[in-house]
A = this chain, B = another copy of it.
C-alpha cells in the first residue's frame, strides 16, 4: 500500500474497485456514491460502532475482518435487533501488503454473507509508515428491533438468573497465542461468531423474559457483569463451579497470569432473564449450535454496593472486580 491509495484520486478508485467492491459486493455498495441509499426500515432503529485494533491481524480462528463483522453484528443482536447494514472504515499503514488487505476484505465479505448482512458503505485512508500498525478497522452497524424484545442493561432485577452461552476466554487466549513474543502454543481457536441467530431463537420463545443481553468482549465476563450490575443497580452472585471454561484455556490463563473472567470472548453472550424462564431459555440456547455449552452461572440479588461476587465452594466467596489496569492490550 502506498499513500496515493488513500488520496482520493485514481489509485483510491482502483483500490476500492479491485479489493473492496469485489470482496464485499452487494447492490447497495454498487451504487458507487459516497453514501448508500437503503430501503425504509420497520420499527425502531438500533445503531452501534466499534474500532478493531486486534494484534495480530490474523489469529487462530479468525482475523480482523471477520472479527469486525461478528463484533458489530453481536452488538446489534445484544440490543435485541435484527442486524441489517454495516459500514467499514479502513486506516491502513503505508507499506502494508495488498495481499493481506485483500485477505481481510475477503474474510469480511464472507462473514457478512454468512450472517446475511451487507457492508453498504466504506472508506479507506492510508497513513505514513510508523503512524499506524498494519490496518485498523472501524465498523458501524444498523439494525431493526425484533418484535416483542426489550432488552437493556438497566433491566436486571433481583431474582433474575444469569446465563452464559458457552465457554469463557477462548478468543483472548487464541489471540495471545498468535503473538510470537509470548512463545506459547495451544489448540484454542477464537470463538468469533455471529450471535444474532442464537438471540432470535431465544427471543422467539422467550422474548419478554429476556431482560439484558450483552457479549462479554473486552474486559471479559467480569467487566460485562459489573457494567450490568451498575446499570441496573443490583448485585450479582456467581457460582464458580458452574462457569464453563475449557481446560486448555484455564491452563493458558494460569501460564499467563490471567483470570479467564477478564479474558475477551467474541462469540458468547450473557443473558439475564426472569427466574421462571431460566430453564426454558437455557434449553433454547442449548438447542442452538452456538449455545450447546450454555450454563446457568448465577443470580441477581439486591445489593446497594452493586457488587459481583463469586461463591468459590466450601462457603468461600470473592468479589469479581473489573480490571483497573491493562491486562490484554489490543485483543479486539
Contact = CB atoms under 8 A, between A and B. Distances in A.
Interface in A243-288: 264
Copy number in the complex reads: 2
A88 to B, nearest CB: 7
B138 A89 contact: yes
A120 interface: yes
A123 B50 contact: yes
30 contacts: A3-B329, A7-B325, A7-B329, A9-B223, A9-B325, A9-B326, A11-B324, A11-B325, A31-B152, A32-B231, A33-B152, A34-B48, A36-B46, A38-B44, A39-B44, A40-B41, A40-B43, A40-B45, A49-B89, A51-B90, A51-B91, A51-B124, A51-B138, A52-B125, A89-B140, A91-B91, A121-B140, A126-B329, A127-B330, A130-B130
Given A36-B47, A51-B89, A125-B330, 18 more contacts: A8-B223, A8-B264, A12-B218, A33-B153, A34-B214, A34-B215, A35-B76, A36-B48, A37-B44, A37-B45, A49-B122, A51-B123, A51-B125, A87-B140, A89-B140, A123-B138, A128-B133, A138-B140
